[in-house]
Amino acid sequence: MAVQAQPTPNPNAMKFTTDRMIFQGDGSVSVMPGQTSEHDILNDLMELEGVDNVFGFQNFITVNKKFDADWDALTDQVKNTLEKYGY
């Protein structure tokens, strides 16, 4: 299974799910503007133009985009980033 993008009730958020664990354990991780994470994948996602913040738990990452960003362009960039890490 490749990375799957799924819409959420929030039009500015998209959930990206993989068939493998990205984050071990029962805790979630998030990165807000101006923050960094011990998880390089989240830092790389925050570097993408249009990403506002990210949230991860086990086998998914939810990306929240900035209001003026376009999902058509951003979805492929997020998928490419996850695939770069082997997901």
DSSP for 22-83, written as a single string: SS-SS--EEE-TT---S-HHHHHHHTSTTEEEEEEETTEEEEEEPTT--HHHHHHHHHHHHH
Residue 1: pLDDT band with limits 50, 70, 90:
low
Domain that holds residue 64: 4-8+17-24+34-82
Q: Residue 60: how many CB atoms within 10 A of its CB?
A: 16
* CATH number, domain with residue 66: 3.30.1370.70
Residue 15: pLDDT band with limits 50, 70, 90:
very high
Counted domains in the chain = 1
pLDDT in tens, 30-74: 999 999 999 999 999 999 999 999 999 999 999 999 999 999 999
Question: How high is the pLDDT of residue 52?
Answer: 98
| Domain annotation covers residue 66 | yes
Give the separation between CA 31 and CA 45, rounded to whole angstroms.
10
Whether the per-residue pLDDT at 2 is higher than 90: the answer is: no
| Domain annotation covers residue 87 | no
pLDDT mean across residues, the chain? 96
